[in-house]
Structure 1
Amino acid sequence: MKKFIYSLSAGNMRCLVTQLVSCLVLMTAIHSLIPRDCSSKGSMYSEAKIREIQNELKTYRVRLESEAELLKKINTHQRTEENLNVAISQKDLIIQGLKEDLVNMETKYNETLKSKEGKDNEKPDDGKSETPGKEEKEVDGDQMKNDTFLLPNQLTREAAPVGIAIAIVSDDNAKELKKTLDSLIENMPATGFPVFVSHNGTNEEISKCIQSYLIKDGERTNIFHLQYVMGTNDGPLDALGVNSLHRKWVLSTLFDKYAYSKVAVIDDYVNFAFDVFDYFQASSKLLDTDSSIMCVSAWNENGQADFAKDSGTLTRTDVFPDLAWMISAEMWGELKADWPLHGWKEWLRNREQNTGRSCVIPEVCRVSVRKRAMGSPKDDIFYEQYLSKIKLNKNPVRFAAMDLGYLTKTNYDTYISQLLGGSTEISSASVLKDYRGKPGDLKLQYDAPSSYIAVARILGLRPTLKEGRPSASYHGIVTIRYGTWRLFIVPEGWEKDLQVVDKDTSTS
């Protein structure tokens, strides 16, 4: 009987249950054929036939009770087997726990032995004593070594937390990195965004800074340490080359080794808005649904307080924005083979490389930048004129509750075309004052890149072009808030680049 029970598969069990049900159905059918009053006149059964049916019923009842008892034993066995399987599946964890207990016991024994030897050899009244806490520090060091996940690059793929991976890429400044991590921790949710802090080289100060965030109140945090060391085949490279290879290595580690589907790469000198992670979470779906979107960024180069007002508005740009940007594993699959040794940002902005794809950016930035130490006088002037005036969002938006479908290419092109069609065209930036207090959107056209730079200087925008296009522009169209208006600065022939869908024809 035991061999029979243990040999039953899930299919055999289903067969047995089916037989039991069939028996019940048959018994019910037979019972329905027996007259309630066997002696009544006109009964179609003889007394002998009735006794025969009753005996058959009794036989089926006994069989049913026997097989029901057998089914009960099978269920008990399967529950026991499931418990054994769970224990077997966790054997590695149990063994690891026993090993750790053994190491701890050995450590305590050695400490006790050393302490005893020290007391035996202690000179009386020498006036010297050991530094308080020395032994405790050594124990902490051993504990750090035993937890391999606390060491750089030791996290396994199986142990990697789920979610959107946040990669903080640090180059050379521990103080700036600490400010960034403090801002990150202050604003990030408890789960869903594992943080990987990566630094280039073997800077001990930066390593100590990262290590200080891996444990809090005796518990492991959701922050992990990565360390990039150039390979022997990378050759001699300048700082920009190392910067490019560092980012490629971080992306490869998170996508190819740990199998994340989304990764946000963030520089180490930024501050975070409270809703930046809600923004990344909600907008990440756009990377799955619209192949024309290359990345989602929390940074808007035209996000100065004078030009950014609506915290809930998102736009598209075909100029890669940098600083805090998220891509998908599918996009990384396209980029990794040709990732350049130098100029990775310019490479991503190249139209042949990005095949005309865009990034999503917020009107009001979800990150801001701090003034970097060791900057040149030119960098300092640029920071004071433009970057220091970037507005960091202070009004949290629940992007998860919003429909972001308007950002897909055909929807957005149609939307922006309708806004431009309904706007009032002005001849130059100098006449803006004449429209003060009047409602509606305004449109200002430029005929060449040099013309845009002139307009940008008048308005106070960054007078820069990237790959021949204005910063944060979409097909050359720059959208900002100016006073009470929404102002579109558009190139000649802007209409030809937009894929506008006529709603009347699209629904017919």
Structure 2
Amino acid sequence: MVSRIDYDRDMVQLHEDIQKSKETPIIRKDRIRKSNNNNTNSVHKETLEENIKNANTLHLDNDIYSVYWTDTIPDHIQESHPYIAIMTSNKPDHLDRLILNLLKNALVDPDRILVFNDGVDPVLPILEKYEMTANQLVQNSQTHTKVKGDQNQKDFYINQHYRFMFSFIFDRLHLENIIVLEDDLVLSSDSMGYFTLLSRLMKYDPSIFCVSAWNDNAYLWNSIPDEPLDHLRFSFKRQNHFGGLGFLINNRTYFNRIEPAWREEGANYKPWDTVVQNSMLPEDSCIYPSVPRSQHSPILSRNYKAITSKENEVDEWSFMQFYNPADFFVDGKYMKVYRMTMAPMLQPEYDFNLDRSIRASVEIDSLYAIGFLTTSPHSSFVFYHRVYSDKDKDWELVTKILSLVGIGNGGVVRTVYEGVIETSVLGKRLYIVGFYSKFVFEKHRATKAKMKLNDLIKLVDYGNAHFNEALTKSYLFMLENDHSLHVKVAEQSESCSTHCKTHNFSCKEPYQILLLNSGFVEYSFTSQKYCKTIKIAENSESELGNLPSLYSATQTCVLPNNPSKISCSYTPAKNENVTRKLCICNK
């Protein structure tokens, strides 16, 4: 990756060049690499370059290169943010929580909120409670019923509600852009700044379809420990998958993509987000954050305070990361204002940096080798996967091994960009590159050494055939050779964070993913005489963050049945079964 120091130095030089020439060479020619993909859309590239050429120097500099990001809760109403459309239907308590969250924590301008309701439960009293007017309530009279039919009928009514909202915003009000929120979301304190600043990029780069506040794979364990603060806070990515759960689109996206897609035969009977996804062209992409600025919270008790105070998780959604300024300190203080440049999110810059990162990564020939990566001095790896489109079902082979969320709306794999999924595993950065991607460089691959699973697996021999499964063996190799890792069992009603700290260790979320592997748990915890038997929980008995756990009475170790319920901080309640959390502690 291009370091911030290098990039800021480039920006200083570029600024000096601008002052001398009074021109705006925003995208440097040496950062535009020719693609080996014959389907590259030249219209987008030409439009982007034309936008840049015609842009006012000072205006563009303020818009993209000299952005000041307010990191803490602002001390005044954010009057300049785009209008907000809240979609609600028969969830008055959720609507109340969201509006309170927006006004108190994100400090939005209440006059820039529009509520689109197609339910029968009264909504106006909630708006009046927050001194909003009846003019800010838009009632969709065509679908305001409590639907009791099958899922297809529900999809139809939700579809029509979103179509009505989009048309109202862009055909009737003629707004430039809109932030769309569902009533059961919670937004971060910097969410309005996030949408406002990143929306500026859409004025110059027509390939940006939307800006999303959500990251489908931002589980607590899917992170890199001790990552530099500036990178973690302001790390934004692109994906060819439409990101929902809080998103911004502009009128160009609506008129050129979404509105024509809704006029196609059968579109009214598809899920609304499938219609939007299907409207995206191959060259379109959405920006999304590494750390989400929204969280889906269907349980009302999971509000902004509960999330930022790190109260116990209550459902699978609350095991996701959520941006909270209080998590980040600089010299013991919050960083209130941060100067940054958003130019790396413009397509040529983004592709250039992604290209460099992939080329600099060490290639592995199998994802079953991921346990061996932690003992490597390298921090970034790449795996080339035999898939041939964003909708190739064999993407699921990758997402299953890495415990990622896979195929999404419209059949497109989540977080994919130009055939590349960027993620992390056990604290290491990993790029999965499809064979169809323009970032496949055969000549480059031929000149670089590779980490080969067959060579690595010879280093491990546990005798028992049960442990010969490749992924298990790589995890056990990691445990035996990384002396900073220790398996522990917490005391009753004790979180892994507390237990590790008590024994002068720390609990780091990425390593808890090891506890999903039954072979790893059986070998490592039985050798410590903790577990006699291993059991995978059924859906009905899964106890959220209370798993993975040891049931003391039977010495049974029970593991979760999916990766969405792993947490260092979850504190189990006392119960009759006397369960104790299984933990991976780090020295």
TM-score normalised by L of structure 2 = 0.50
**Deviation readout 1:112-161 (Å, 9 max, x if unpaired):** xxxxxxxxxxxxxxxxxxxxxxxxxxxxxxxxxxxxxxxxxxxxxxxxx9
Q: 1:461 to 1:399 in 2, by over 3 A?
A: farther
What is the percent sequence identity of the aligned residues?
19
Match of 1:174 in 2: 92
Q: What SS does the corresponding residue of 1:316 show, helix, strand or coil?
A: strand
Q: Which of 273, 276, 279 does residue 348 from structure 1 map onto?
A: 276
Match of 1:403 in 2: 341
Residues 1:326 and 2:273 are matched in the alignment: no
Task: Quote the offset at 1:426 in angstroms.
Answer: 1.3
Asked if the contact 1:308–1:481 (Cα under 8 Å) also holds between the matched residues in 2, the reply is yes
Distance 2:438 2:204 in 1: 25
Within 5 A, what are the aligned runs for 1:143-162? Answer: none
Distance 1:454 1:409 in 2: 29
Match of 1:197 in 2: 115
Asked if the contact 1:278–1:399 (Cα under 8 Å) also holds between the matched residues in 2, the reply is no
Asked if the contact 1:317–1:361 (Cα under 8 Å) also holds between the matched residues in 2, the reply is yes
Q: Which of 202, 206, 230 does residue 142 from structure 2 map onto?
A: 230
Distance 1:296 1:492 in 2: 27
Q: What SS does the corresponding residue of 2:136 show, helix, strand or coil?
A: strand
Distance 2:338 2:247 in 1: 18
Task: Quote the offset at 1:255 in angstroms.
Answer: 2.5
**Deviation readout 1:261-307 (Å, 9 max, x if unpaired):** 11011111111111111111110111111011111110111111222
Match of 1:430 in 2: 368
Q: 1:355 to 1:424 in 2, by over 3 A?
A: closer
Within 5 A, what are the aligned runs for 1:144-293? Answer: 163-191=81-109, 194-204=112-122, 206-215=123-132, 224-230=136-142, 238-293=153-208
Residues 1:417 and 2:355 are matched in the alignment: yes
Higher helix share: 1
Q: How many residue pairs align between the two structures?
A: 319
Amino acid at match of 2:247: W
Gaps of 5+ in 2: 1-78, 225-231, 301-312, 329-334, 442-587
Amino acid at match of 1:417: D
Q: Which of 306, 318, 332 does residue 388 from structure 1 map onto?
A: 318
Match of 1:294 in 2: 209
**Deviation readout 1:430-471 (Å, 9 max, x if unpaired):** 222212153321112221344432332222211335444321
Task: Quote the offset at 1:345 in angstroms.
Answer: 1.2
Gaps of 5+ in 1: 1-160, 374-382, 499-508
Amino acid at match of 1:363: S
Bigger RCO of structures 1 and 2 (CA < 8 A, at least 6 apart) = 2
Task: Quote the offset at 1:404 in angstroms.
Answer: 1.2
Please say which of residues 475-484 and 420-429 is displaced more in the overlay: 475-484
Q: Which of 259, 275, 280 does residue 336 from structure 1 map onto?
A: 259
Amino acid at match of 1:392: F
Q: What SS does the corresponding residue of 1:255 show, helix, strand or coil?
A: helix
Distance 2:395 2:314 in 1: 22
Match of 1:488 in 2: 431
Within 5 A, what are the aligned runs for 1:357-376? Answer: 357-371=284-298
Task: Quote the offset at 1:476 in angstroms.
Answer: 2.8
Q: 1:278 to 1:408 in 2, by over 3 A?
A: same
Distance 1:245 1:198 in 2: 12
Task: Quote the offset at 1:314 in angstroms.
Answer: 0.3
Asked if the contact 2:155–2:272 (Cα under 8 Å) also holds between the matched residues in 1, the reply is no
Distance 2:394 2:129 in 1: 51
Distance 1:473 1:249 in 2: 29
Q: What SS does the corresponding residue of 1:296 show, helix, strand or coil?
A: strand
Q: What SS does the corresponding residue of 1:265 show, helix, strand or coil?
A: strand
Residues 1:463 and 2:406 are matched in the alignment: yes
Larger radius of gyration: 1
Task: Quote the offset at 1:401 in angstroms.
Answer: 3.4
Distance 1:353 1:459 in 2: 27
Amino acid at match of 1:280: F
